[in-house]
Amino acid sequence: MDTNEAYKRIKRLRKELEEHNYRYYVLSDPVIGDREYDTMMEELVKLENEYPQYYNPESPSQKVGSDISSEFTQVRHDYPMLSLSNTYSRGELTEFDTRVRKGLNEPFEYVCELKYDGTAISIRYERGIFTRAVTRGDGVQGDDVTSNVRTVRSIPLKLRGKGYPEIFEARGEVLLPREGFLRLNRAKEEKGEPPFANPRNAAAGTLKLQKSSQVAKRPLDCIFYALYGEGLLFDNHYDNLTKAREWGLKISDYMKKCDNLDEVFAFIDHWDKQRFELPFDTDGIVVKVNSLRQQKKLGFTAKSPRWAISWKFSAERAATILRSIDFQVGRTGAVTPVANLDPVSLSGTTVKRASLHNADFIELMDLRKGDRVYVEKGGEIIPKIVGVDFSSRPSGSKKVNFIDNCPACNTPLKRDPAEARHYCPNHSGCPPQIKGRINHFVSRRAMNINMADATAGQLISAGLVKDPADLYSLRKEDLLKLERFAAKSSENLIMSISESRKVPYHRVLYAIGIRYVGETVARRLAESFGSVDELASAETERLSEAEEIGEKIAGSIKEFFEDPVNMEFISKLKSAGLQLKKDDVAERENGGNALEGRKFVVSGVFENYSRDGIKEMIINNGGKVVSSVSSSTDYIVAGENMGPAKLNKARKLNIPVISETDIEAMVKKKKDVNE
């Protein structure tokens, strides 16, 4: 590579890395994996070293990625929050060890810790009182997110005991356990919002919410990994953290002191296999020199300490061929591009498809049909394309362009400048949207109509249903004309539709399918607005005053009720006899006392209910929902990905662990007896 080519490559790498920094730190929406980012950064550093004439202090290689937001006040760190150097190589870790030995020339020990996949925070304590919380920012200054961080339950607002320094900073990682992440994504999908790609993005995005009341409802956790300040009790990292546990700070149970590199590698190998058993994500191991005096002696580079390094676990990945791209339309009109891949085995499953998120992702990745792409499972959950093998790209390949018109109804797509997604505005005439709304409407957590997903397509094709309200006009004779419908199945569906008229107001609001209105928001709306007429006539300001209803949701509600087609839909639901106003007596009568006097812990992700839906069933039937497992707990209602700590405690206390089917049966059995 000649000098001119090197300069062009350096400029391109800087530009791309700046964009990836912005997406990772500010938008919490990365489009490439950590390894791709690190590889690009390594190439940039190498080129800048080879061609020092192109040194630029503003290069991404010279600074910490920034999560600073103009919506928050910036605060300067008393101690810089630098990033760690990363490695995936045993050879590079050995080189790090050699540099440390040469720099110290005296005995030392390491401390190994899990590297939590969340977002860094620095919390200041004065005389044992929490006074301020600041994000990493650009390493020199960060955003003041004190009001939001105060809501994280594992962070003490007042320290326990005594002996702590008068003023010090506790550095930690705010994270979202997998269980909470799955629940949060399920709620976002119910509201028609794109899900978070992984728990790290969810945690970072939550800390930047403008309402701390919304932050408080997300199950964030925080694990502390360092103390900074004058007057620390010990001259070593390990003992200071151990002491901090006595003050009420949540310190990792997985730290280990290591005397040599062999012990470090043993720690890495152990957690590379065992990390999937943890209730939260960890993406590597941090190796630190234990002595604070020796840390000071080794010092820092421009962006990272010389006394610590991060070993990154390699996410399982596979290479395959991108064959084509489908564009799917959801019930809210959101258009999602999906990659069709040659089948490839990944993390024990066969992956054939992967989400491409949106038009920006396709543009940034420069995707083309026939490309050899690398696929990983984001957060070990969602398949995603993380890179392209440009060296094997077929000659003459054409760039993939995002579509301009809806693939289902050919309506020109729209894109809100504030969002990354394209939408089809033809909500009343676009078949996938109609089908999606009907299937949402009849779902268990909405109107609970016993109807298969495929039936919606049959009803639409036969011209019997144009919106969910038309279900209430169906007759047995109409259904008998459809394939696979006999007399009994037709009667059952008609009866189930009729029974749904008893569903309470807040669930009808959820069933209607207003964008961004999930189960919890629907319940809050029902509490604040006694009828659908009151809700429809409310001004945006009045809507925004309701609990959990911000400007975004308020705007969506206002837009929904300003559409004449939607108002006609509501009118049809009224004529059909649905519960479109609050009736406290009726809602209580829908429950019972089947679970009276019993305490339940609800944990995990469920197939037929949201977790709030399970809790609602328990409360409506006289039971009590508690958050933690104790000897007074009667049952654990467990779904998939239940937290292992709760499960282990339940087993120790011999508390029965039951499923959603079991809790349904308990309720039904009592009702059957009463009837």
Indicate which residues carry an active-site annotation. Answer: 115
Angle at 314 between CA 309 and CA 315, to 5 degrees: 135
Do residues 288 and 238 make contact, with C-beta atoms less than 8 angstroms apart?
A: no
* Amino acid identity, position 520: T
Determine how many CB atoms are found less than 10 A away from the CB of residue 95: 13
Determine how many CB atoms are found less than 10 A away from the CB of residue 304: 17
Do residues 495 and 451 make contact, with C-beta atoms less than 8 angstroms apart?
A: no
Do residues 225 and 286 make contact, with C-beta atoms less than 8 angstroms apart?
A: yes
| Residue 344 CB contacts under 8 Å (≥ 6 apart), including other chains | 318, 319, 320, 350, 351, 375
Do residues 633 and 654 make contact, with C-beta atoms less than 8 angstroms apart?
A: no
Could you give the C-alpha distances from 108 to 105, 111, 228, in angstroms and in order? Answer: 9, 10, 20
In order, the DSSP letters of 573-620 are: HHHTT---B--HHHHHHTS-STTTT-EEEEESB-SSS-HHHHHHHHHH
CA-CA distance, 281 to 283, in Å (whole number)?
7
Do residues 48 and 61 make contact, with C-beta atoms less than 8 angstroms apart?
A: yes
Pair of tokens at residue 464 = 């019997």
CA of residue 59 relative to chain centroid, distance: 31
Q: How many helices (H) and strands (E) does the chain have?
A: 25, 22
CA-CA distance, 220 to 397, in Å (whole number)?
45
In order, the DSSP letters of 46-101 are: HHHHH-GGG--TTSGGGS------TTS-EEE-SS--PPPPEE--HHHHHHHHHHHH
CA-CA distance, 384 to 363, in Å (whole number)?
15
